Amino acid sequence: MAEGKEDSDGANAASSGGVRDAVVEQRSRISLVWVIPIVAALVGAWLTYHTFSQRGPAVTISFESAEGLEAGKTKVKYKDVEVGAVESIELSEDLSHVIVTARLVKPARRYLRESTRFWVVRAQVSAGRVSGLSTLFSGAYIGIDPAFDGESRRAFEGLNAPPVVTSDEAGTLFTLRSTDIISIEVGAPVYFHTIKVGQVANYELDESGKFVTVTVFIQAPNDKRVGPNTQFWNVSGIDVSLSAEGVEVDTVSLTSLLIGGIAFDTPSHLETDGPVAEGTVFNLYKNRRATTEPVLGQGNRFLLEFEQSVAGLSKGAPVQFRGIKIGQVLDVKLVFDLESATPRVPVLIETHPELIQVTGREVGTPIERWQKMVERGMRAQLQTGNLITGQLLVSLDFFPDAPPAAIDWSGPVPQLPTIPSPIEELKAGLTQFVKRLSSMPLEQIGANLNQTLRELRALSGSLNEEMMPSLIATLDEAQRTLASADSLIAPDSDASVELKRLLFELAEAAQAIRRLAVQLEEHPESLIRGKKGAEQ
């Protein structure tokens, strides 16, 4: 019925004018107008996801100062390759440091560990090296030393200076221990046979405060040269020594003269025994000579008191026995006794039995042996150790003519008897001579000498007047005697000719006697038969 109605309506419309009525229909399709915004939103979402998925980690680094750093411009580099950039720089709440936020590349996640280090690279010129000159044109940047061990981390404390050793350098760290640093700086070179093979990485006081711990880095493959018997010594400055062979000056390089340095080697008589583990502790000697000195323990301590001046005697001065070092001076003090109002200069020394080779059978206790040596005349004496510097040393030796003495065992440290030095004895002798000379009546002696000279002159005048003729006659007679003797022994004199003839005849007689002796030796029967019978 509806269709019929529509047909009839269309017919009516066509009959009325040929124009059909509009028909409105409902459609469920989305309009093409919304396609473009939807696609743009999807692309934006994908780009946002892609950006965030490829975004690297953000780290915060604290520095003492932001000098040379700028947000949005300063880069983070590793081996001059950009691995990140600084996003923001803020002050800490207590204003003690700055906090730098940097965004790194995505692969940086795996090497952001506890031991990762950051520092600001600037142009730096020091006595040891020159670094960061490229930043004069490009500006400062943040350097990174990545690490792959340890727990992951995003907050770091920046270094105040670039590290001496980075993780990409092959080598080994060793620990040295010394009583003092002796002008060694971070970055100071480490030498092997005067060739630089490493450098000082760090130094600090140990927990006890008695030693300085020095960390050195030795590059590969030279780190394999370090063994259990390797010795390290300080080569800072100039080492000057005066010996019987002359003055010796030892310095490795100009760098070690300016900032110090360390050298190492293994003595030829000791075995290397292969490399040692990283972190092994070695003793750091003050110079190369100290490496040859034996390691000494607690020695025997004695107290000495000298009545002379000890100017030139200092702590560490050697104690010698007949020129061989057996100990050292530990302390020199000045003590004033209020009761007696007299000053004393006690000198504390230490002797080491390890430095003395002992032979024979041990007799008695150590106390008895020391007492016996003192009874035989052993005394302590100050002697000049160096004529140029005037340094003194303590010498122990036997002096049989020394006055009797004994060791004083009453105090906490036994006291050895002493005698004056040769110079003091000479001074005392000269002083006594001057005193005796000053006590002599020199004016009276001079007057007596003048009187004696006057008397000698008068006696000489009288001798000239009375004895001169006799002396002249005696001289004439002696001259005639000499002339006669000269004529007698002259080559052409009669006596000389006769003497020569006599000597010739004596020679011929000697030859005849020699022939007779030969004849008798060959023919002893000639004494009975005669010469003709012997010939038959």
Is 50 exceeded by the pLDDT of residue 262?
Answer: yes
- 178 within 8 A of 211, measured Cβ to Cβ: yes
pLDDT band per the 50, 70, 90 thresholds, residue 14: very low
Q: Which residues contact 144 (CB under 8 A, 6 or more apart)?
A: 76, 77, 78, 83, 116, 117, 118
pLDDT of residue 149: 85
305 & 424 share domain: yes
Distance between CA atoms of residues 524 and 522, nearest Å: 6
Residue 186 within any structural domain of the chain: yes
Q: Which two tokens stand for residue 338?
A: 């209020």
- 198 within 8 A of 216, measured Cβ to Cβ: yes
Q: Strand 58-63 relative to strand 155-157: parallel, antiparallel, unpaired?
A: parallel
Report which secondary-structure segment, H or E, holds 328.
strand 324-332
State whether the Cα torsion 478-482-488-493 is positive or negative: negative
404 & 337 share domain: yes
Q: Which residues contact 235 (CB under 8 A, 6 or more apart)?
A: 191, 250, 251, 252, 256, 260, 261, 262, 263, 287, 288
| Other Cβ atoms within 10 Å of 176 Cβ, number | 25
230 & 306 share domain: no
Q: Pick the closest to residue 321 from 398, 244, 206 (CA basis).
A: 398
| Other Cβ atoms within 10 Å of 351 Cβ, number | 21
Is 70 exceeded by the pLDDT of residue 1?
Answer: no
Tell me the residue range of the domain where 510 lies. 494-535
103 & 72 share domain: yes
**Maximum mean pLDDT: which of 158-162, 476-480, 502-506:** 158-162
User: Among 239, 272, 292, which residue terminates a domain?
Assistant: 292
pLDDT in tens, 130-183: 666 666 677 889 999 998 888 888 999 998 888 888 888 888 999 998 876 567
- 315 within 8 A of 333, measured Cβ to Cβ: no
Q: What secondary structure letter does DSSP report for 415? A: B
pLDDT of residue 2: 43
137 & 228 share domain: no
Report which secondary-structure segment, H or E, holds 367.
helix 366-375
278 & 239 share domain: yes
Residue 323 within any structural domain of the chain: yes
287 & 318 share domain: no
pLDDT band per the 50, 70, 90 thresholds, residue 25: low
Residue 318 within any structural domain of the chain: yes
pLDDT of residue 142: 92
Q: Output the furthest CA–CA distance in the chain (Å, rounded).
A: 220
Distance between CA atoms of residues 516 and 527, nearest Å: 11
pTM of the model: 0.53
pLDDT of residue 389: 74
361 & 288 share domain: no
Residue 480 within any structural domain of the chain: no
State whether the Cα torsion 415-419-421-427 is positive or negative: positive
Q: Pick the closest to residue 198 from 164, 229, 158, 236 (CA basis).
A: 164
Q: Pick the closest to residue 174 from 165, 184, 161 (CA basis).
A: 165
Task: Please give the C-alpha separations between residue 325 and each of 360, 394, 488, in angstroms, as whole numbers.
Answer: 22, 10, 76
210 & 148 share domain: no
119 & 191 share domain: no
Residue 465 within any structural domain of the chain: no
pLDDT in tens, 320-363: 998 888 888 989 988 888 888 888 889 999 988 777 777 777 77
User: Among 408, 432, 456, which residue terminates a domain?
Assistant: 432
Distance between CA atoms of residues 246 and 202, nearest Å: 37
Distance between CA atoms of residues 356 and 351, nearest Å: 10
| Other Cβ atoms within 10 Å of 536 Cβ, number | 5
pLDDT in tens, 364-376: 787 888 888 899 9
Q: Which residues contact 376 (CB under 8 A, 6 or more apart)?
A: 398, 400
User: Among 254, 275, 292, which residue terminates a domain?
Assistant: 292
178 & 229 share domain: yes
Residue 205 within any structural domain of the chain: yes
**Maximum mean pLDDT: which of 448-457, 460-469, 480-489:** 448-457
Start-end of H helices in 189-273: 254-259
- 256 within 8 A of 189, measured Cβ to Cβ: yes
pLDDT of residue 314: 87
pLDDT in tens, 265-296: 888 777 666 678 888 889 888 888 787 776 66
Residue 280 within any structural domain of the chain: yes
Q: Pick the closest to residue 351 from 399, 304, 392 (CA basis).
A: 304
366 & 287 share domain: no
418 phi, psi to nearest 5 deg: -125, 165
What is the torsion angle, in degrees rounded to the nearest 10, for the CA atoms of residue 288, residue 292, residue 296 and residue 301?
A: -80
Q: Pick the closest to residue 70 from 87, 92, 91, 93 (CA basis).
A: 87
Residue 224 within any structural domain of the chain: yes
Q: Which two tokens stand for residue 202?
A: 């760090």
Task: Please give the C-alpha separations between residue 80 and each of 17, 59, 142, 224, 361, in angstroms, as whole numbers.
Answer: 88, 19, 10, 31, 74
Q: Pick the closest to residue 214 from 168, 180, 239, 163 (CA basis).
A: 180
Distance between CA atoms of residues 339 and 210, nearest Å: 39
Q: State how many domains the chain has.
A: 4
Cis peptide upstream of residue 221 (ω within 30 degrees of 0) = yes
Q: Which two tokens stand for residue 476?
A: 């004439």
